[in-house]
Chains A and B, each alone.
Chain A
């Protein structure tokens, strides 16, 4: 059964880039959570989540963003979201994420936003 999910974590310009692909649901969200946790544990608190190849996200995935954002900001970092397709963006917007998270068009713009601070 198709439940494709992939995650790639890298460091670019001193920022943590976490690229999530495919379907983030209650089954795959723990892998996403682990990737963010590893970045936070390593003290890399400026995090870009690249969603260009994200097809689907449920509240399990949205909960990952919510569970880290306050700690990350308290420690001087941020989580910025980029590359959302209109369909996936709609899910974020139903819960009002646009008021809490910065959502950028692409990874380069997200990196520039961090470096502009």
Chain B
């Protein structure tokens, strides 16, 4: 496979209705990048979680805002950035409670971030609240 970098960008209104479109976008790119079936499935879920967090929490369901998903891949890895201009949050403050504890407290928050960290090989954040937030995720492309 060529090591030429390929870059794609999807920009959609901030509505949960568009999660299906976002999943189709990253699934297509995951396949093109050469991820195996399990890798594509993991990518799909991680990006859905990241974008759902933006739509619900960063933008509070404000459909006039935009969610940007940028994907870049070469022969080594697929790098995804989910970009928004909403309320930033400190990902290190997301709850680390066990699922049992969350159930007991009637909470289900923080599950998305937990899934993202499990599903992707690397996760990092660049956050300037109210200006620009970027969640960066890397999925390595494993050779056969």
- The reply to whether the CB of A113 lies closer than 8 angstroms to some CB of chain B is no
Measured CB to CB, the closest approach of chain A to B15, in angstroms, equals: 8
Measured CB to CB, the closest approach of chain B to A25, in angstroms, equals: 5
Within 8 A of A (CB), among B87-119: 98-100, 102-104, 106, 108, 111-112, 114-115, 118-119
For B112, list chain A residues within 8 Å (CB): 58-59
Report the tally of A-B residue pairs with Cβ distances under 8 A. Answer: 77
Are B104 and A25 neighbours in the complex by a CB distance under 8 Å? no
From known contacts A63-B108, A66-B108, A95-B111, infer whether A3 and B49 are also in contact, taking CB-CB under 8 Å.
Answer: no
- The reply to whether the CB of A2 lies closer than 8 angstroms to some CB of chain B is yes
Measured CB to CB, the closest approach of chain B to A9, in angstroms, equals: 22
Chain A: which residue is nearest B18 at the CB level?
Answer: A1
Q: How far is the CA of A95 from the CA of B102 in the complex (A)?
A: 11
Q: Which residues of B contact A (CB under 8 A)?
A: 16-21, 23-24, 41, 44-45, 48-49, 52, 55-56, 98-100, 102-104, 106, 108, 111-112, 114-115, 118-119
